[in-house]
Structure 1
Amino acid sequence: MTHQVLLDPSNPTDEDYCPDESLFAIYHSTQAQSCAAAPRNFIGALPIELLLAIFTHLYRSSHRLTQTGEIWRLDEPLSSLFPYAPAAVCSMWRLVLSSVPEFWTRVVIRVDSQHTQSQDIRHYFEWSRNLHLDVIITRHRDEFDGDDKREKSKVFKATRELVRHIERCRSIRFNVMYSSSLPSILHDFHRETAPHLLTLELKCKVDDGGSPPRKLVHWSFDAPGLRHLYLDARNFFEVCVDRNNWLRRLHYLSSLSISRYRPLSDNGIDLYKLLRAVEESPGLEFLELKDLHFSRLRPWTTVNDISIDLISMNLEDLSGDVLSEIIGYVDSVPDSTRISRCAITTCHHSLLSGGVAFRGLSDDQNLMVPLAHWRGRTLSLVDCECFHDDFLRDMMDGGPHDQSFACKGVKELYLVNCTKFSPRLLKTMVRKRRKLARRSIFWTHDQEAIDWTFPIVAPITLISVEGGPALFKTDRKWFEDNLGSFHWDEQVSHITFEDSSDSDYDIQGGQY
Structure 2
Amino acid sequence: MVSPVLFDPSNSSDEGCCPDESLFAIYHSTQASSATQNFIGALPIELLLAIFTHLYRSSRRLTHSGETWGLDNPLSSLFPYAPAAVCSMWRSVLSLVPEFWTRVVIRVDSQRTQSRDIRRYFKWSRNLHLDVIITRHRDEFEGDDKKEKSNVLKATRELVRHIERCRSIRFNVMYSSSLPSILHHFHQKKAPHLQTLKLKCKVDDGGSPPLKLVHWSFDAPDLRHLYLDARNFFDVCVDRNNWLKRLSNLHSLSISRYRHISKRGIDLYKLLRAIGESPSVECLELKDLHFSRVRPWTALNDIILDLVSMNLEDLSGDVFSEIIGFVDSGPVATRISRCAINACRFSLISYRVAFHDLSADQDLMVPLTHWRGRTLSLVNCACFHDDFLRDMMDGGLHDQSFACKAAKELYIVNCMNFSPGLLKTMVLKRRKIARRCLFWTHDQETLNWTFPIVAPITLISVEGGPVLSKKDRRWFEENLQSFHWDEEVLDSQFEGPGDSDTDI
Q: The TM-score by the shorter chain falls in which range? A: over 0.9
Q: d(CA) in 2 for partners of 1:45 and 1:445?
A: 67
**In 2 relative to 1, CA 434–297 (structure 1 residues): closer, same or farther, beyond 3 Å?**
closer
* 2:276 is the counterpart of 1:312: no
Letter in 1 for 2:184: H
* 1:42 CA drift (Å): 2.6
* 1:312 CA drift (Å): 0.2
Letter in 1 for 2:51: I
Q: d(CA) in 2 for partners of 1:284 and 1:41?
A: 57
Please identify, of 40-49 and 470-479, the stretch whose mean Cα deviation from structure 2 is larger.
Answer: 40-49
* 1:129 CA drift (Å): 0.3
**In 2 relative to 1, CA 488–23 (structure 1 residues): closer, same or farther, beyond 3 Å?**
farther
Q: Pick from 245, 250, 254: which aligns with 2:242?
A: 245
Aligned to 1:85: 82
Letter in 1 for 2:494: T
- Answer whether contact 2:106 2:133 (CA < 8 A) is retained: yes
* 1:310 CA drift (Å): 0.2
Q: d(CA) in 2 for partners of 1:362 and 1:238?
A: 34
* 1:40 CA drift (Å): 3.4
**In 2 relative to 1, CA 484–300 (structure 1 residues): closer, same or farther, beyond 3 Å?**
farther
* 1:497 CA drift (Å): 3.3
Aligned to 1:114: 111
* 2:65 is the counterpart of 1:68: yes
1:231-254 Cα deviation digits (max 9, x unpaired)? 000000000000100000000000
Aligned to 2:149: 152
* 2:50 is the counterpart of 1:53: yes
**In 2 relative to 1, CA 502–32 (structure 1 residues): closer, same or farther, beyond 3 Å?**
same
* 2:4 is the counterpart of 1:5: yes
1:184-228 Cα deviation digits (max 9, x unpaired)? 000000000000000000000000002222211110000000000
- Answer whether contact 2:269 2:296 (CA < 8 A) is retained: no
* 2:233 is the counterpart of 1:236: yes
- Answer whether contact 2:72 2:502 (CA < 8 A) is retained: no
TM alignment of 1:443-458, pairs within 5 A: 443-445=440-442, 447-458=444-455
Give the TM-score normalised by the residue count of structure 2. 0.95
Which blocks of at least 5 consecutive residues in structure 2 are unaligned?
none
* 1:11 CA drift (Å): 12
1:38-69 Cα deviation digits (max 9, x unpaired)? 35333111100000000000000001110011
* 2:397 is the counterpart of 1:400: yes
* 2:442 is the counterpart of 1:438: no
Aligned to 1:134: 131
Aligned to 1:509: none
Aligned to 1:368: 365
1:10-56 Cα deviation digits (max 9, x unpaired)? 799xx79xxx9x99943334533663143533311110000000000
* 1:297 CA drift (Å): 7.2
Q: d(CA) in 1 for partners of 2:417 and 2:446?
A: 29
Paired residues, number: 497
* 1:144 CA drift (Å): 0.4
* 2:163 is the counterpart of 1:199: no
* 1:296 CA drift (Å): 1.2
For 1:60, what is the secondary structure of its paired residue? helix
For 1:121, what is the secondary structure of its paired residue? helix
Please identify, of 487-496 and 306-315, the stretch whose mean Cα deviation from structure 2 is larger.
Answer: 487-496
Q: Pick from 492, 496, 504: which aligns with 2:494?
A: 496
TM alignment of 1:252-401, pairs within 5 A: 252-296=249-293, 299=296, 302-401=299-398
* 1:399 CA drift (Å): 1.6
Q: d(CA) in 1 for partners of 2:446 and 2:131?
A: 45
Q: d(CA) in 1 for partners of 2:121 and 2:281?
A: 34
* 1:398 CA drift (Å): 0.8
Q: d(CA) in 2 for partners of 1:420 and 1:199?
A: 41
For 1:491, what is the secondary structure of its paired residue? coil
Q: d(CA) in 2 for partners of 1:161 and 1:251?
A: 28
* 1:5 CA drift (Å): 2.0
Q: d(CA) in 2 for partners of 1:68 and 1:158?
A: 28
- Answer whether contact 2:294 2:318 (CA < 8 A) is retained: no
Letter in 2 for 1:280: E
Q: d(CA) in 2 for partners of 1:126 and 1:9?
A: 16
- Answer whether contact 1:447 1:461 (CA < 8 A) is retained: no
Please identify, of 249-258 and 488-497, the stretch whose mean Cα deviation from structure 2 is larger.
Answer: 488-497
* 1:451 CA drift (Å): 1.9
**In 2 relative to 1, CA 389–446 (structure 1 residues): closer, same or farther, beyond 3 Å?**
farther
Aligned to 1:459: 456
Q: d(CA) in 1 for partners of 2:476 and 2:483?
A: 7
For 1:468, what is the secondary structure of its paired residue? coil
1:120-148 Cα deviation digits (max 9, x unpaired)? 00000000000000000000001001000
Letter in 2 for 1:186: L
- Answer whether contact 1:381 1:415 (CA < 8 A) is retained: yes
- Answer whether contact 2:421 2:472 (CA < 8 A) is retained: yes
Q: d(CA) in 2 for partners of 1:29 and 1:113?
A: 33
**In 2 relative to 1, CA 427–446 (structure 1 residues): closer, same or farther, beyond 3 Å?**
farther
**In 2 relative to 1, CA 297–411 (structure 1 residues): closer, same or farther, beyond 3 Å?**
closer
Give the TM-score normalised by the residue count of structure 1. 0.93
For 2:305, what is the secondary structure of its paired residue? coil
For 2:171, what is the secondary structure of its paired residue? strand
- Answer whether contact 1:402 1:456 (CA < 8 A) is retained: no
* 1:502 CA drift (Å): 3.0
Which blocks of at least 5 consecutive residues in structure 1 are unaligned?
505-512
Runs (4+) off by over 6 Å = none
Q: What is the Cα-based RMSD across aligned positions, in Å?
A: 2.2
Q: d(CA) in 2 for partners of 1:33 and 1:49?
A: 15
TM alignment of 1:205-216, pairs within 5 A: 205-216=202-213
Q: d(CA) in 2 for partners of 1:58 and 1:176?
A: 27
**In 2 relative to 1, CA 208–426 (structure 1 residues): closer, same or farther, beyond 3 Å?**
same
Q: d(CA) in 2 for partners of 1:395 and 1:300?
A: 38
Aligned to 2:158: 161
Aligned to 2:224: 227
**In 2 relative to 1, CA 446–113 (structure 1 residues): closer, same or farther, beyond 3 Å?**
farther
- Answer whether contact 1:445 1:484 (CA < 8 A) is retained: no
- Answer whether contact 2:31 2:37 (CA < 8 A) is retained: no
Letter in 2 for 1:316: E
